[in-house]
């Protein structure tokens, strides 16, 4: 069946592989409770093209498949005959990052309660747990300006993300970017955990701040894992878990 759909889409082997990985990513995020109804996006650049894949607007993340992903250009115009619309308001923000950050091939933005809670707290993410210490000094923050991204806000978004791969939209939610989908997945996984633990720790009261010299050692040891394969083992493991429940994402 997948072969037939692939033929109908007339896409390259590389695009089909990207479609399957992105569909898996949507399903994994949903399985882990990180989806938000039919909203929010994970976008992925089609290898070797100035085109992106995005979820079809109106479907739950659990309904995304390789073939129903919509191929669009950087303005959000459809490049394939998909019957599904694209949530252009939602893509505007992703489009700003894809256009200005050529390394950011995979981008996710979520509205999970714990990441939104941290985005909505004045102190932002604090170096008070194992996961959050990975992100100390490498997160940008962007003040809330409302739902719609206007052209001039795009400039501020790029300014605020700086050379980081994570941008916390204050009062809103996180944006996590990476050169590959597996790297984005693992980076988001750690950020999600960091926020969950921070929310719980703050509820208990008196969080312990990790001293800078310990954070430095922690990040140095982490950096030894930062290869081009970062996140690959994790992503493949979660794909196997998906397959035990439903292989529909592959079609
Ligand atoms: Zn949002």
Q: What was the pLDDT predicted at 42?
A: 98
Q: With a cut of 80, say whether residue 6 has pLDDT above it.
A: no
Q: What was the pLDDT predicted at 9?
A: 75
**133 Cα to the center of ligand 1, angstroms:** 25
Q: Where are the domains of the chain?
A: 2-250
Beta bridge partners of 10: none
Give the residue, 173 or 74, on which the prediction is more confident: 173
**95 Cα to the center of ligand 1, angstroms:** 14
Q: What was the pLDDT predicted at 27?
A: 98
Contact 179, 106 (CB under 8 A): yes
136 phi, psi to nearest 5 deg: -60, 125
CA distance 180 to 229: 9
Angle between helices 232-245 and 181-204 (to 10 degrees): 90
User: What would the mean pLDDT of 54-69 be, rounded to a whole number?
Assistant: 97
Q: What is the pLDDT of residues 185-237, one digit of tens each?
A: 999 999 999 999 999 999 999 999 999 999 999 999 988 878 889 999 999 99
Q: With a cut of 90, say whether residue 80 has pLDDT above it.
A: no
pLDDT bracket for residue 1 (50, 70, 90)? very low
Q: What was the pLDDT predicted at 3?
A: 54
Q: What is the pLDDT of residues 9-40, one digit of tens each?
A: 778 999 999 999 999 999 999 999 999 999 99
Give the residue, 89 or 241, on which the prediction is more confident: 241
Looking up tokens 């490498």 gives: 138
**92 Cα to the center of ligand 1, angstroms:** 11
Q: With a cut of 60, say whether residue 52 has pLDDT above it.
A: yes
**43 Cα to the center of ligand 1, angstroms:** 14
Closest CA to 85 of 98, 107, 70: 70
Mean pLDDT of the chain, nearest integer:
94
**127 Cα to the center of ligand 1, angstroms:** 24
CA distance 219 to 194: 14
> Which of 89-103, 144-158, 161-175 is the least confident region?
144-158
Above pLDDT 70, what percent of the chain?
A: 97
Q: What was the pLDDT predicted at 4?
A: 56
**112 Cα to the center of ligand 1, angstroms:** 10
- CATH number of 2-250: 3.40.50.880, 3.40.980.10, 3.40.225.10, 3.30.1640.10? 3.40.225.10
Beta bridge partners of 168: 141, 174
**77 Cα to the center of ligand 1, angstroms:** 20
**236 Cα to the center of ligand 1, angstroms:** 27
């Amino acid at each position: 069946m997948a072969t037939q759909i692939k033929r109908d889409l007339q896409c390259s082997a590389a695009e089909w592989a990207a479609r399957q990985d992105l569909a898996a990513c949507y399903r994994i995020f949903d399985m882990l409770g990180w989806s938000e109804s039919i909203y929010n996006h994970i976008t992925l650049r089609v290898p070797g093209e100035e085109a992106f894949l995005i979820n079809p607007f109106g479907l739950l993340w659990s309904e995304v498949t390789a073939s129903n992903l919509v191929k669009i250009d950087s303005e959000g115009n459809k490049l394939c005959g998909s019957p599904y619309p694209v949530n252009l308001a939602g893509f505007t923000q992703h489009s700003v990052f894809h256009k200005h950050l050529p390394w950011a091939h995979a981008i996710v933005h979520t509205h999970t309660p714990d990441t939104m809670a941290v985005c909505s707290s004045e102190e932002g993410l604090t170096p008070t747990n194992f996961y959050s210490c990975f992100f100390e000094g490498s997160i940008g923050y962007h003040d809330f300006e409302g739902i719609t991204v206007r052209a001039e806000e795009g400039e501020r978004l790029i300014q605020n993300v700086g050379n980081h791969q994570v941008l916390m939209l204050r009062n809103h939610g996180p944006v996590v970017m990476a050169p590959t989908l597996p790297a984005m997945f693992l980076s988001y996984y750690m950020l999600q955990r960091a926020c969950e633990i921070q929310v719980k720790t703050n509820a208990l009261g008196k969080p312990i701040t990790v001293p800078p010299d310990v954070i430095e050692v922690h990040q140095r040891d982490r950096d030894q894992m930062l290869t081009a394969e970062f996140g690959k083992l994790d992503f493949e493991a979660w794909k196997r878990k998906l397959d035990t429940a439903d292989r529909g994402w592959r079609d």
